[in-house]
Amino acid sequence: MWFQILEELELAFWKYKQERKRASPLPKDEHSGGVKDSLLANSSDPVEMRRLNYQTP
């Protein structure tokens, strides 16, 4: 009986944690995007632009 209750609480907590991850993006991502845009505007070097635009999977 206790095992079932703990299992259901764990599942509910996991779902809650997944929803919070998806709902709120990290503020760090917004800031790094702004920095990238400002660097792209000031750079005319093709190698530097390729490095800034490179996306890892």
Q: What is the pLDDT of residues 14-27, one digit of tens each?
A: 888 888 777 666 55
What pLDDT, on a 0 to 100 scale, did the predictor assign at position 52? 81
Nearest to 39 by CA among 30, 48, 31: 48
What pLDDT, on a 0 to 100 scale, did the predictor assign at position 40? 55
Query: What is the rounded CA–CA span in Å between residue 54 and residue 51?
Result: 5
Tokens of 7: 């299992």
Task: Evaluate if residue 32 carries a pLDDT over 90.
Answer: no
Return the domain boundaries, the chain.
Answer: 25-57
pTM of the model: 0.35
